[in-house]
Structure 1
Amino acid sequence: MRGGPGQLMAGRYRLTDRPELLRAFAVDEHTGESVLLRAVELPALLTAGQDPEEPNPGHGDRLVRRVAAVGSAAPAWHPRLLRGVGAFVDGELLWTVEERPAGWTLAELLTAGPLPPYRAAELAADLAGALRALHEAGLSHGNVAAESVLVCEDGAAMLGGLLDGVAQEALAEDLGGPGGRRRYEVRATLVGPVAERWPLDGGPAGDCWALGVLVQRMVAGRPPFPEVGVPELVTAVREGRREPSVVCGPLAPLAERLLQPDPTLRPTARAVQGELAALLASAPEPADEERVAREVELKPEAPLVPLRPRRRGRSGGVAPESGAARGGGSPRIPPALLGPLLVGGVFLLLVLGIVAVVLFAG
């Protein structure tokens, strides 16, 4: 895509920076809000049997209506769902438009490494709430992935990418038919080897499976299935060859159920939301840096002993331990007494000095 800051698209969206490949940030001049534009290509194959130099505008318009219908049916009121604004065709690209508050994608955050299990549970709970709202509205998402999750400045997660996923699936179906090898090839080109995007089944059960993959990606720093290529990924998913969910720590039982091949054995988004709420309610206090780095403390000539949690202060910080609690013998002198004791000591030395002078002179 060509263009740069200031360019107006669809008579409404003013670009705010130089666009990336098939993605651009803009301001909606009708509402003043920041939006994200994502695009999928409308290749000449859409007009099979026609001159590639003469694209079929009616086909693009039909895709726009299909995407817009899903956006209109989505529960825009939900605080954990990014609202889809609309879609439009510009040349050979179909663009979807989505609100974009300040934040970072989960994919960007994971480049720094995996997340602690309970932090991952907080984000997964937000996503489960968003999926629950969609499923109860009779919709499925189909694009649950790290790139579609926005982590806002307040730490909450919002699920986006709904319209982009609808556009990709609609294009794959139009080019390849409702099923079969051709549709698989087109979808592989559009989606790529992203584990969350290749469930064995679609609908709400497929969304929950994708959430299980994402949970393991957040905690382990990698997905449970190989992403070296689409054929290898799809084969591993079909054969159930994956890394065990034990790497997810306290989230392992939930991840294991979400990744069940049988969709009837997976929990619903509502059940996932409730289970994560219970897990977070029983979460331990935040640990200090030493405990994060090492879960056990090595004592000389003694077995490994678990570290004792430190007392919490009223403000939520870690209260310092007393000398007796550390095994350091007698307690320290309180800081408030140091001044008086020092003055008293100096005065005593002066008195002793005067007495010594008098005795020596006498």
Structure 2
Amino acid sequence: MRAGPGQVLAGRYRLTDHLEALGAFAADERTGDVVRLRALELPAVLIGDQEPDGPGAEPGERLVRRVATVGAAAPRHARLLQGAGAFVEGDLLWTVEERPAGQPLDALLGAGPLPPYRAAEVAADLAGALRALHGAGLAHGNVTAASVLVGEDGAALLGGLLPGVAEEALAEELGGPGGRRRYEVRAALVGPVAERWPLDGGPAGDCWALGVLLHRMATGRAPYPESGVPELVTAVREGRRVPAEACGPLGPLVERLVQSDPALRPTAAEITLELAELLARAPEPVDGPAAAGAPGLPGPRSAGPARRRRAKGAGAAGRSRDRHGGTAKAETVPAEAAGAARPPRIPPALLGPLLVGGVFLLLVLGVAAVVLFAG
């Protein structure tokens, strides 16, 4: 089944655009909110030709229940996008997530790496969301640039929780709880995205993924090769990666986050504190080509809860840098307050007569001096 604009799914989500990479925006007709729908294709082995009440419907329903359980247990946090559950329609498993106005982080990184202190701001927001999740006994498992939304106020919002759960549940449904078959299914679902292949899961795996994402934000690339899943997994296991020196002031934190021993990695709470200290020492902005060439991000990062708006889009161009390498709206200086706009001390109409009088006075003084010295 393939859906298009205007079609209503699950009796409430009216699609507003075409499916792209099995994702689409929709309007929730019950709440009026804009949501993001993501779909996973269910193999025929999970669907079969059974009636909806028959045995063929059971695997899909199990997946929906697993996703719904995590969604219900997820805490509410200002930096965490809320999931609204999952449903099966046709041959697709859909997950639903709120979608305020903003831009995906992966799209913004397409313009190049972020200044280190702007990357630190984004990471601090994500660490706060992870801290809330870990405190609720949950792990995220899908901390990637594609799962992060940068809101209009510059705050970073962590999404992708339910799509990540759906992918892991489908890999286990098709490949079993472990082994080669599950690895192959997961590789096909996830692909060679470095953040998705930690050596360990749980909260420590999320912190490792945040370290990889920090490296990506600061340098424009992952610290591990992403040419294919086998090459990526082998490099992670062997610890072959690009050193973090290029991450600037974030380098020491990145090194500790991506180390192989999970017991030595900082927790989400410790990451939050360390990034706060780093941002407190951030230098004042420096005007120049380096600042002008950095990719734009919407608005200065807000210290309070992110604004949840239903309008689409977020302008990111034509804004000046803030002290951490972020952006802020340019301030307009009134003309009467600028020195160039001050009125002249001498009215223009008097300049001509004053000049003629001055020349005449100099001539009189010159004649008087000649007479005085000649006499």
Q: Give the TM-score, by structure 2 length.
A: 0.80
The equivalent residue for 1:299 is none
The equivalent residue for 2:355 is 349
The equivalent residue for 1:194 is 193
- Number of equivalences: 321
Give 1:79 shift.
0.5
Q: CA RMSD in A?
A: 2.7
**Matched residues in 1 for 2:329 and 2:8: separation?**
49
Tell me the secondary structure at the aligned position of residue 346 of structure 2.
Answer: helix
**Matched residues in 1 for 2:218 and 2:347: separation?**
54
Matched, 1:251 2:257: no
Task: Tell whether the 8 Å contact from 2:49 to 2:56 is kept in structure 1 after alignment.
Answer: no
- TM-aligned CA distance change 1:41 to 1:334, over 3 Å: closer
The equivalent residue for 1:217 is 216
**Matched residues in 2 for 1:344 and 1:257: separation?**
74
Which letter maps to 1:167? A
**Matched residues in 1 for 2:113 and 2:21: separation?**
27
The equivalent residue for 1:63 is 63
**Matched residues in 2 for 1:264 and 1:108: separation?**
33
Tell me the secondary structure at the aligned position of residue 163 of structure 2.
Answer: helix
Gaps of 5+ in 1: 295-314, 319-332
The equivalent residue for 2:181 is 182
Gaps of 5+ in 2: 294-327, 332-338, 368-375
Which gives a bigger RCO, structure 1 or 2 (Cα 8 Å, sep 6+)?
2
The equivalent residue for 1:3 is 3
Tell me the secondary structure at the aligned position of residue 86 of structure 1.
Answer: strand
The equivalent residue for 1:263 is 262
Give 1:53 shift.
4.2
**Matched residues in 2 for 1:190 and 1:290: separation?**
41
- The equivalences for 1:94-105 within 5 A come to 94-105=93-104
The equivalent residue for 2:316 is none
Matched, 1:79 2:78: yes
Matched, 1:155 2:154: yes
Can you list the C-alpha shifts for 1:237-296, whole angstroms capped at 9, x where unaligned?
Answer: 0110100011110000100000010000100000000100111111111221256479xx
**Matched residues in 1 for 2:71 and 2:183: separation?**
25
The equivalent residue for 1:301 is none
Tell me the secondary structure at the aligned position of residue 95 of structure 1.
Answer: strand
Tell me the secondary structure at the aligned position of residue 158 of structure 1.
Answer: strand
Which letter maps to 1:70? V
Q: Give the TM-score, by structure 1 length.
A: 0.82
Tell me the secondary structure at the aligned position of residue 340 of structure 1.
Answer: coil
Give 1:44 shift.
2.2
Matched, 1:233 2:239: no
Give 1:174 shift.
1.2
**Matched residues in 2 for 1:200 and 1:11: separation?**
41
The equivalent residue for 1:146 is 145
Task: Tell whether the 8 Å contact from 2:105 to 2:146 is kept in structure 1 after alignment.
Answer: yes
- TM-aligned CA distance change 1:10 to 1:357, over 3 Å: same
The equivalent residue for 1:300 is none
The equivalent residue for 1:38 is 38
- TM-aligned CA distance change 1:291 to 1:83, over 3 Å: closer
The equivalent residue for 1:107 is 106
- TM-aligned CA distance change 1:243 to 1:343, over 3 Å: farther
State the identity as a percent: 67
Give 1:343 shift.
7.4
Task: Tell whether the 8 Å contact from 2:59 to 2:173 is kept in structure 1 after alignment.
Answer: no
Can you list the C-alpha shifts for 1:174-229, whole angstroms capped at 9, x where unaligned?
Answer: 11111111000000000000000000000000000000000000010000001111
Can you list the C-alpha shifts for 1:152-190, whole angstroms capped at 9, x where unaligned?
Answer: 010000000101000100111111111111000000000
283-292 vs 104-113, which moves further: 283-292
Give 1:17 shift.
1.4
Give 1:18 shift.
1.7
Task: Tell whether the 8 Å contact from 2:124 to 2:271 is kept in structure 1 after alignment.
Answer: yes
The equivalent residue for 1:310 is none
Which letter maps to 1:72? A
**Matched residues in 2 for 1:356 and 1:24: separation?**
85
The equivalent residue for 2:24 is 24
**Matched residues in 2 for 1:341 and 1:210: separation?**
69
